[in-house]
Amino acid sequence: MSLISGTSWALPTIGVAEIAVEKNTPSFLSSNSVTTLDNPTQQLMQQQLNALSAQIKAQINQASLLQLQTQEMDAKAINSVSFNFTQTEVSIESEPSLINQFANAASQLNPLNSTTNTAESQISYPDYMLFGTLEALNAGNQIQLIPGTNQYSNIYSLDLAINYKLIKTSDQVIVANFIAAGHAGEPTLQNNSTTQIPSNTDALIKQVYTQLSSEVIARLEQQFNESSTVLSSIESSINPTPPNLKQ
């Protein structure tokens, strides 16, 4: 069994939901320059958000920080959960939309349904759920005349921001809330203001996803390394002479 920091504490389990997309997602593009949206690439980025979630799951496995669970929850069971908790952390009931996301994620992650005879005691619940909502997205060009010249700067940019909430399922509380972002760009000089789309947009999208997923993993590492430090401290107080793990 995997351990946290060499202690006897088993790694917590986590489920990663598909990224939710809301209407009227804002763009990063500045209004101070001539801006041209690359709608096909922007739509492609949105359609491939599931690939981003898959990349995050793969990195969670590689980091050996958490145990990734892919079959966690039965939607019916999650819908029956009471969300009337008073906690020092942010309660999930303060954001009603998360309750629906919680239930939807249950349906995504577990093939069980109300027609099965599986007992609720046999359902494996993760310790944590990571929910992401698309916060901002853009793909496009910003073209500006360079002062004192007859040349233009053409900056093609891809930007993506996801608002993540890490929920402790036993308490239904939000224990972490952060925005992770990814960026990729390709600047060029040209003699006119004609929009030019790079031919390597797929590679740029991959760069955005890699940057964003790495930021998510860094935030999870920060969250759970702090937790493991507390657990190690508790264990040390119980057993003041832990074994020398360096041997």
2 contacts 11 by C-beta, under 8 angstroms: yes
**Full domain range(s) for residue 195:** 13-238
Residue 8 lies in a domain: no
Q: What digits encode the pLDDT tens for the residues 151-166?
A: 999 999 999 999 999 9
Residue 53 lies in a domain: yes
pLDDT reading at 12 higher than 80: yes
End-to-end CA distance of the chain: 20
Distance CA 153, CA 151 (A): 7
Distance CA 233, CA 231 (A): 5
Distance CA 212, CA 87 (A): 30
Four-residue CA torsion sign, 213, 164, 124, 78: negative
Distance CA 18, CA 14 (A): 13
Token pair belonging to 112? 């069980």
What's the total number of domains in the chain?
1
**45, 47, 50, 51 alpha-carbon torsion, rounded to 10°:** -50
Residue 3 lies in a domain: no
CB atoms within 10 A of CB 71: 13
Residue 212 lies in a domain: yes
Q: What digits encode the pLDDT tens for the residues 28-61?
A: 555 555 578 899 999 999 999 989 988 998 888 8
Could you tell me which of 149, 162, 141 has the C-alpha nearest to residue 49?
162
Residue 218 lies in a domain: yes
pLDDT reading at 105 higher than 80: no
Residue 246 lies in a domain: no
Lowest mean pLDDT among 82-91, 132-141, 151-160: 82-91
As beta bridge partners, residue 188 has: 154
Output the pLDDT for position 208: 96
Residue 5 lies in a domain: no
The DSSP string of 156-202 is EEEEEEEEEEEEETTTTEEEEEEEEEEEEEEEEEESS------S-HH
- pTM of the model as a whole: 0.70
Residue 36 lies in a domain: yes
Token pair belonging to 68? 């990734």
